[in-house]
């Protein structure tokens, strides 16, 4: 993996660097790992293996003059691993709760996660709801409007995404980045925050594009 210091391509001096911890939650097989893989590496695996415990990845995006680095904790979906979840969402500034638009139960489970986060996670956590597998829209059972109004009621960001076609994947992370407070508190937090770029620029095309606007 490329491991370079985050310098703007044009050599311009670095603006603010913010580091955020983001956790993905949701029923198993809704596509949490696939969303992360798409966002971080621009890849998609049809047979993405199940996640046991949790997996950790990072990705950096540029937002105006700020470099936002996400530390992403991708958790196991199975209910049993629930007891581990607090370990991962503790201290997280952002969460993406994922469901599968072709499966009603996963939407129910997403709501439970939202409730738990609202109760237990840090009060200022930014929560996004992702209705994944949009590419299977012809098999949809969770209506867009239903999810949108639920998100509105609960003050969540909401997008339907597809890790397979990459639809809205970068966008949802970007929307989160925009919503996160970028005050001094978050800069240089947690370990070594000399803002590293972990992937080649072309793997997150949209994010990179935005940064240069």
Partner 1 sequence: MTVGMTVDLLRNSQLKFGAITFFAKQHKGDTCGSNGLPLTPNSIIIIGRAQFLKTINSPFLCEFLDVIRGKHERTIVVSQYCGTPLANLVEKHTFSHLQIKKIAYQILQGLSLLHSLKIVHRCLSNENILLQDNDNIKLFNYGLYYMTDNGALVPFPVLDVLYTAPEVYLNGPNSCYPDPKVDIWSSGICLAELALNKSLWSSLNLGQRIRKILSLLQVNSSIFEKIAREHNCYETYLNLPQDLKEIIELCLNIYPSKRPTCNELLSNSYFNDFKLENDERDRKPWRSFDIFTIKELYHWWQLTGGDVYQELKKQGLIRSSPPILSLPSLVLIEGSLLGQERNPATLYDPRIVQMPLDMLYQRFAHISLPAFYPLIHCKSEIISNADPPPYDATGLPLVIKEKDPEYQFHRIILFRRLLHGYPFTKDLIIEEAQKDIPPLLRGEIWAALLNVNSLYKMDYLRLDKYSHTTTDRQIEVDIPRCHQYNELLSSTEGHKKLKRILKAWVYKNAQYVYWQGLDSLTAPFLYLNFNDEAKAFACLSNFVPKFLHKFFLKDNAVIIEEYLWKFSQLIAFHDPELANHLHEINFYPQLFAIPWFLTLFSHVFPLYKILHLWDKLLLCDSSFPLHIGLSILTQLRDKLLTSGFNECILLFSDLPEVDIEKCVLSSMQTYTSTPKSITNREYENELFHQKNELDITGVKIEDLKKELCPRISPNDVIDFVRHRPEKALFIDIRNPTLFLRCSLKDSINIPFSSVSFSEKLLGNLGPHCNLVKSKGDKVVVVIGNSDTDLERFPKFLLQCNVSRVCVLHGGFNVLIPVTPTVLQSGMPT
Q: In this chain, which of 2, 52, 137, 141 binds partner 1, going by CB under 8 A?
A: 52
Q: How many residues bind partner 1 (CB under 8 A)?
A: 37
Enumerate residues 11-40 that contact partner 1 by CB under 8 A: 28-29
Nearest to partner 1 of 136, 175 (CB atom): 136
Residue 58 binds partner 1 (CB under 8 A): yes
Residue 50 binds partner 1 (CB under 8 A): yes
Enumerate residues 176-205 that contact partner 1 by CB under 8 A: 191-192, 196, 198
Supply the minimum distance, in Å, between the C-beta of residue 68 and partner 1: 15
Residue 57 binds partner 1 (CB under 8 A): yes
Q: In this chain, which of 25, 61, 76, 151 binds partner 1, going by CB under 8 A?
A: 76
Burial of 152 (0-12, 13-18, 19+ CB in 10 A): exposed
What residues line the site for partner 1 (CB under 8 A)? 1, 3, 28-29, 46-58, 71, 76-78, 80-81, 83-84, 87, 102, 105, 133, 135-136, 139, 164, 191-192, 196, 198
């Amino acid at each position: 993996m490329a491991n370079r210091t985050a310098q703007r391509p044009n050599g311009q001096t670095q603006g603010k660097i913010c580091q955020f911890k983001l956790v993905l939650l949701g029923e198993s097989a809704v596509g949490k790992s696939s969303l992360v893989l798409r966002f971080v590496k621009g890849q998609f695996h049809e047979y993405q293996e199940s996640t046991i415990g949790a997996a950790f990845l990072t990705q950096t995006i540029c937002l105006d003059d700020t470099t936002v680095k996400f530390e992403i904790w991708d958790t196991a979906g199975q209910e049993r691993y629930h007891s581990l979840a607090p370990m991962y969402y503790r201290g997280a500034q952002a969460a993406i709760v994922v469901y599968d638009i072709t499966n009603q139960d996963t939407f129910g489970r997403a709501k439970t996660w939202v409730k738990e986060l609202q109760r237990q996670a840090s009060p200022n956590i930014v929560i996004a709801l992702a209705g994944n597998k949009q590419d299977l829209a012809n098999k949809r059972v969770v209506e867009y409007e239903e999810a949108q109004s639920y998100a509105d009621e609960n003050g969540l960001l909401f997008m339907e995404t597809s890790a397979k076609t990459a639809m809205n994947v970068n966008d949802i992370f970007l929307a989160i980045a925009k919503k996160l407070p970028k005050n001094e508190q978050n800069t240089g937090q947690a370990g070594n925050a000399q803002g590293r770029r972990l992937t080649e620029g072309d793997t997150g095309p949209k994010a990179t594009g935005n940064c240069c606007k």
